[in-house]
Amino acid sequence: MTAATAPFSMSQAGHITGLPKSYIKALISDDLLAPTRDMRFTFQDLVLLQAARRLLDSGVPSYKVVAALAHVRESLGPIDPKQLN
């Protein structure tokens, strides 16, 4: 991915979604997000983060949010490491 396809920084992703950096980093550790090497996020990543925010705001437990995002991530197909910076 290039900066053109991954336009959002960690700070911007947190600001847009209202999620703390620690939660975003946990989702990265769980392989649910695919930021570039310089920690830039795609629109697809932001959609997943926004879904997480909405689920959490609705009272869905965090473990269920992670399971739901894992299901969505799986349906999107594998992350191609060759596309990452």
Q: What is the pLDDT of residues 15-63, one digit of tens each?
A: 999 999 999 999 999 989 989 989 999 888 999 999 999 999 999 999 9
Q: Is residue 2 part of a domain?
A: no
CA distances from 73 to 11, 44, 55 (A): 22, 10, 16
Q: Is residue 20 part of a domain?
A: yes
* pLDDT attached to residue 3: 42
Helix, strand, or coil here: 36? coil
Q: How many domains does the chain have?
A: 1
For residue 41, the cross-strand partners are 8
Q: Is the pTM of this model over 0.75?
A: yes
| CATH number of the domain enclosing 52 | 1.10.1660.10
Q: Is residue 82 part of a domain?
A: no
Residue 67: give the domain boundaries: 8-77
